[in-house]
Structure 1
Amino acid sequence: MVKELLSLIIYIGIVVLICYFILNFVGCRSKVDGSSMNPTLEDKDNLWVDKLSYTFGDPKRFDVVIFNYDENTTYVKRIIGLPGETVRIDQNGNIYINGKLLKENYGKETMLNNGRAGSDVYLGSDEYFVLGDNRNNSIDSRWSDVGNVSREDIVGKVVLRIYPFKSFGLIK
């Protein structure tokens, strides 16, 4: 009886350690709050965030990421500008990276306000420029309260919508 109890305790301990490892180093669940990523993501979507891939590599342009905005808040946005680049958005909503027009079709509509990106925004060696896909309803790097996102603030890459079940699938 004691041997079986000890075996059960060890088994439970191993399961707890595996769960701890997965949630802290491999991935986590996150929930969308708001419409800033429409039409890619909807309010209340439940997501699986891959934390492991950025341990071995860097975020790429157009990745959808979760990042820490402050101690209690995370945001989900799309990476547009990479470290060392210069980002500018003209009055027509066109995005320029290092002076070249960025070809992308993630924005829901033409941006009406280019914010601080109306002038050149320089990204440091560990900084990213992020935008929501719903550009006219997004608090993102165009606004100084978000600004450039530090690499250390990026939690991970959104890879999967897990709920609602009718929308289950990979995020591109």
Structure 2
Amino acid sequence: MSAKKSDWIDWLKTIIITVIVIVLIRMFIAVPIVVEGPSMLPTLENNDRLIVDKISLVFKDPERFDVVTFHATEKKDYIKRVIGLPGDNIEYRDDQLYVNGELVEEPYLQEAKQKLDPNATYTTDFTLEDIPGGSITVPDGHVFVLGDNRKNSTDSRHLGFIPLEQIVGIARLSYWPVTNIGIVD
């Protein structure tokens, strides 16, 4: 076999192996996504680029306050924050989150709340019974999600509870724009 043909075969093998590795990583480990719209402001901005971890969902369900992507429709994925876990009773009263009757702080909203008129509310009052498919608690196998931009977000208040099997992954890293590089909080 000539050296030229051997080089060509080596290059072809390298390209095929690289493509296989990339496909496997995207299918099972991590995937890049682009944030579309303002629903996660101030945490994430429109056109931010993130790495979403898919592999950790094999070992455990998302935790409260994880930022997750999920299949909202057959063609559209949304990115929101997990607020309620299976069995939780979620309520917003006087712009405060209550989980199972206990007040829970949301430090990721402090910046946005400080910019509000003192008499304005960031999150309107509701209980789980008020949402589509409403119940007293988050059903088994589901989560309750909200966008951080509570006044401009299509989330569980409109979509209802999100089945765990629709969750694609957990947003872990922001890599673009460069000024926003870091761990997703």
**TM-score calculated relative to the size of structure 2:** 0.83
Equivalent position amino acid for 2:149 in 1: N
Counterpart of 1:41 (choices 44, 47, 66) is 44
Give the match for residue 136 of structure 1: 151
Give the CA deviation at 1:115: 5.1
The runs of at least 4 aligned residues of structure 1 exceeding 6 Å deviation read none
Written as runs of structure 1 = structure 2, the 5 A alignment for 1:63-82 is 63-82=66-85
How many Å separate the matches in 1 of 2:54 and 2:179? 25
| Runs of at least 5 residues in structure 1 that lack an aligned partner in the other structure | none
How many Å separate the matches in 1 of 2:170 and 2:153? 19
Give the match for residue 14 of structure 1: 17
> Is 1:127 paired with 2:142?
yes
| CA gap 1:149/1:67 in 2 versus in 1, 3 angstroms | same
SS in 2 for 1:159: strand
| Runs of at least 5 residues in structure 2 that lack an aligned partner in the other structure | 114-120
Counterpart of 2:180 (choices 159, 167, 172) is 167
Larger Rg: 2
| CA gap 1:37/1:121 in 2 versus in 1, 3 angstroms | farther
SS in 2 for 1:142: helix
**TM-score calculated relative to the size of structure 1:** 0.89
Q: CA RMSD in A?
A: 1.8
Give the match for residue 160 of structure 2: 147
Assess if the C-alpha contact under 8 Å between 2:91 and 2:126 holds in 1.
no
Equivalent position amino acid for 1:113 in 2: T
How many Å separate the matches in 2 of 1:128 and 1:28? 22
Give the match for residue 100 of structure 1: 102
Give the count of matched residue pairs. Answer: 169
Give the match for residue 118 of structure 2: none
Assess if the C-alpha contact under 8 Å between 1:89 and 1:117 holds in 2.
no
Assess if the C-alpha contact under 8 Å between 1:77 and 1:140 holds in 2.
yes
